[in-house]
Amino acid sequence: MTVHATTGQPTDTPAEEFFTVSIHQSEVDRIARWVANHPDCETGGNLFGFWTHGRAPAVQLTLGPGPGADHQLTAFFQDVDHLRTHGRRAQELYGLQHIGDWHSHHRLGLAEPSGGDASTTLRTLQTNGFERFVIFIANISDEPRDRGWRRRREFTGLVRLNAFLFERGRSTFRRGRFLVLPEESPIAHSAAQQGITEPYAPGSVRVRLPLASRTPTQSASHAQGWYSRPAGTEFLRAVDTACRQQFTDCRILVRSDDGILRYEFATRKSDWEMVFPAAFPHEPAELIRDGKRFKPIEAGRTPTPDDFCRQILESVHSSESGGPSLGPPDHGTPSDQDLLPREDLPEEEERRDDLD
């Protein structure tokens, strides 16, 4: 299964109140994996980076729960030695600061800091003389198709991540949007080699987070894609309608920098994508199964949605009914250890996270 750093969520906070937090895809994946490893209790860790000229947090390195962390249903206590040791090395080697913390509210249904989180954070600002501190809250949602569908014994939920900025002298937090930088953070890559964080394996956990809007020039350029012309829009709408009758989790994603459009959908067996190049229909769309190229779909010079959808349906059905072209699913098989929450109890407690 591929990772999806995906579409923004609408929210009613005024736009000027939002802040932007930049973070590499690798660190989003790491957090998602840690959250998935503790699906039924809180887990958490720490964010290291720096602040930009615009006072926006730039996360370079994430720390997960230490071996002595305490994971409770409604509280998480970081392993203080873990934070102290690794935080000091992140500072000495890379000049990073401890700019925030993250923790999971798993399936508790609270997608923002609790009253307890807020007062703990404001106290942190006071005690340390920090001007600002960022908090990520993760939640797990199980999509309808995941219910009763755990035959792979792997985490099938969706991790949602939200960011909140606390500032000294301000009693409320601001909501953040993510600017996700590509691939692995170079600092985190080095830090993994130093044993400060875990080695990065591109994630198998689906993540959704509110994205910062792109610059106007980028929006203007992708508005000129084939799909923004009337015939293209109509084609795409017809494909979407046909797919929604057959598949679940149908979703369109546009990459603004290169005009590539991806259409995701799922069956009970696999996650699929159609990738439309900017030059579509002059270049074929690509059908992807579970993150692996499956086959190109030629659309012809003047594609009709009927023909196109027929090719898609035939390809999906023939591959999933066990045809010879079917390779093994690309899903990892996490060990039992990965799936079971650990119950280590520490002597020391860093901070309390009471949910009200």
CB of 114 to Zn ion, least distance (A): 5
Tell me which of 79, 101, 117, 184 binds Zn ion, using CB under 5 A: 117
Q: Cα–Cα distances in Å, from 43 out to 138, 334, 342?
A: 9, 19, 10
What tokens appear for 25 in the block? 């895809």
Nearer to Zn ion, 114 or 270 (CB): 114
Tell me if 333 sits within 8 A of 348, measured CB to CB.
no
- Please give the Cα distance from 276 to 247 (Å, whole number): 18
Contact residue for Zn ion among 70, 271, 350, 353 (CB under 5 A):
353
Q: With respect to Zn ion, which residue has the nearer C-beta, 249 or 353?
A: 353
Residue 70 sits in the site that holds Zn ion (CB under 5 A): no
Closest approach of Cβ 67 to Zn ion, in Å?
21
Kindly tell me which of 93 and 355 has the beta carbon lying closer to Zn ion: 355
Task: Give the distance between the most distant pair of CA atoms in the chain.
Answer: 69
Q: 42 or 264: whose CB is closer to Zn ion?
A: 42
The minimum distance between CB 140 and Zn ion, in angstroms, equals 14
The DSSP secondary-structure symbol of 302 reads: S
Tokens (6 digits) for 40:
């039924």
Nearest-approach distance from CB 260 to Zn ion, in angstroms: 37
Residues 252 to 271 in contact with Zn ion, rule: CB under 5 A: none
Find where tokens 């503790």 sit: 38
Q: Which of residues 130-189 bind Zn ion (CB under 5 A)?
A: none
**Structure-block tokens of residue 37:** 């490893």
Please give the Cα distance from 216 to 266 (Å, whole number): 32
Distance of closest approach, residue 130 Cβ to Zn ion, in angstroms: 19
**String of contacts with Zn ion for each residue 85-114, x by CB under 5 A:** -----------------------------x
Which backbone phi and psi does 255 adopt, to 5 degrees? Answer: -95, 115
Number of H helices, E strands in the chain: 8, 15
Instruction: List contacts with Zn ion (CB under 5 A).
Output: 114, 117, 353
